[in-house]
Every structure is written in C-alpha cells, then in structure tokens.
Structure 1
C-alpha cells in the first residue's frame, strides 16, 4: 500500500516539510512521484524512515545516518539490537531522573547529580558509531573509503547502491554455475572494480580478506544472503578462486 506524504506525516508524526527535506538531501526518497507531483511511500520507505527515527532518537546527525543506511553491508537486525541497548540505557537514565524528582518533591535535600550523567549513553553511542573505524580505522583502505564517502552526493550514493545491488543480483542469477566459471569470475572482477572505483583500492589481498569475511562474520553473511540463500558462501568461493588464480 502506497501512502501520500500527508498520510505518512499523519501516521508518523513527522511533518510534511521534514519529509520533503529528507527527500531533497537523499535520506528518504519516495518510491514514486506521480505525474501530479505527489510523493508516494511504500512499506520499504516506512521501514527506512523508522531506522532514521531510531538513529535520530539516539543522537545521530542526519549526515551520519545516510552513509550508514546506504552501506551495502548495513545489517538491519544488528542495528535494531544496538538501538535496543541504547534505548534501555536512556530508559534507565529517565527512571533515575524521575526518582530524583519524586524524592525532591518529598522534601529530600540530597544534592545528587549522577542522574544527569550522559556519559554511559554517549560512550555507547560513540562505540556503536565507530564500530567500523575500530576494525578498519588504521588501514589506508578505510581512510580512503571515508574520504570518498564524505564527498558523495545523495544522487551518487543512490547510483552506487543501485550498481551494488545489480552485481549481487548477477551473482545470485549465476549460482547454478561453478564459482570457477568465466561468467562468475568476471563478476568477481566487476565486484573488485566497484570497490576500487567507489571506496578504496581493492587489491587481491584485500579482496581475499573480504571473501573470507563474507562467511566468517555473520553480519556480512546474513546481509548478503538476503539476496539469495547461500550467496555469501558462493561469493566467498568465487573470490578465493579468483585471487588464487591471480597469484
């Protein structure tokens, strides 16, 4: 069911003006714009909006949310778990503040300020936001990727995402072939080229590491397998053959 921008605004409590702004900056595009210029939003749009609101609730800036959601390796389930953990911290802090107010109303004079402490929440948020940097931050590839990503416009991100999805779809469509087949090996070369073009210079050594990660890290496995069951293993096998042949 597609909804108009006014229906989405009424459903979510987000103003029409804000939804228009999200569209303008590339954070949330409608699924369709009619000839009469009406913006329409489907369930996928609403799911993305929910993720945006979760990140906003946790203090993330709009400019930081878009690269996270547009990352081809974005893991929705992992994100929701992190959202839950941080929201629990916020809830505990609010409960402490409520208790402090109640005690003050009762006439207690204890001067307590620990309830106002945001450090635990802030530290957890930073840990979440910097997870990728913690793993890759010291590598030249990560630094190059961050530099390129910071310079992409909303339209460029959309084009990159579309290009990425097409290669995933092509791999899925060729799963009936052997990973060593010329068709699949060409897809590996295309995948390596995409990473080099848009993110960082993907050497065969780095590509081999990525291939291993696709099956060793459940977040990568789950995300890739959304395109087809067993796709992560298939891509990993194809990448291993590609890199071994290039030695």
Structure 2
C-alpha cells in the first residue's frame, strides 16, 4: 500500500509570516500522525523561509512514523543536519538557491559521482536514501548506478497534464516506474499531487511506496479541516482499481 507522508513546510511558512510560534509545527506534526498520516516530510532550505533547521531537531524528537528530510545537499550544512538527526529517509533534491519550489529532478548521469558519495555517506549512517528524478528512463537508470534505495518521481508535469489528457500525462511515469521496478529501485512520488489527480496516479504506477504531499493538502485543509483532509488523502492512496 502507498504511504502518505505529509509535508508541513506550509505550516512553517504561515508561522514565520508573523514571527511567532503559531501555528506550532511540532503540534501540527503530532496532529497529522494522530489523524492518520504515515510520515512527516520537511524540506529545510538555506534561507530557512519555512522549515528552520531547529525545527528538524524538534521534530526528530516527536515523529513516530517515518521522518523524511528533503533538500539540496550542495551545502554541507544540510548534510550535517541529516546525519545529526538520522531520519528514516533523506530525499536529495537539486533545487536552486532561492527557488520558490522544486522544479526538476537530478541529472543522474552528470552528477553521478556527487550522488554516489553522498548516498554512501547517508547509507553508512543507516539512513534510507531517495533522489528526485524526472520520468526519464536514462535518469532512472542513472539513479540505479548511484546506489540509492529509492527514487522520487517529480510529478508536476503529470499534474499539469492531468486535466487535459490524463492518459497522456501519466504515460512517461508508467514507463519510468516500470523501469525502476525492473532495476529494484523503490518508488516514491511527489509535487502537485492532489485529491483531483492522486487516485489515478496511484492506481497506474506499480509498486508506489510513498507519496509526499504538502501544498495541496494544506490548502484543502483550510476548507475541509486537517483531520478530514488527511483521511481523504489516505482514501486516495489506498484506493483499488
């Protein structure tokens, strides 16, 4: 069954907008798990515009499900943060400094040596590794050579194409997932998945282990309530064909 990991970056964005501690990200993480979330995801960036580095230490103390830390390992500070907290999983994302959000996967061929070194370091510390990739067979095959445990498919192109032609939008993702399965890579997915498009994706991607969802889920919770929203997303991740 596909696990739902809730990305709480947007909660931290709201907190930071007023400079205080409301809403409290630790309490929200506890509540997300209480409401059924099967993981908590954070993506600290160097400017700490949402999740702060201290948040990671605080969350490590209370998360009882899977803790997933995403980020760009180009700065040693991020690598040290992950090693200090030993999450269940680290997801390496090549987002540019100052980018509003992640917008592309790794070129696993060009950055092969860098990824091999980083992944080896994390795995020696007992941390499961995943790398963000586009649904490109060459990038999936390159990911296998890095030694990563999993890949996370970057799903924004699927989400953008879903309302126009969902069969066309998912085609490359099905092929990439099939190749990942052949290579023995675990499979995650994330970015712009929502209540509208999640079920179709989950039902057509074989052996999808985890989806990480933040923006859409938090937006839905404004209208539907956080507990109800998490339950609705869980229903989509567990839907059978």
TM over 0.5: no
Identify the structure with bigger relative contact order (alpha carbons < 8 Å, sequence gap 6+).
2
TM-score norm. by structure 1 comes to: 0.29
Larger radius of gyration: 1
- More helix by percentage: 1
- More strand by percentage: 2
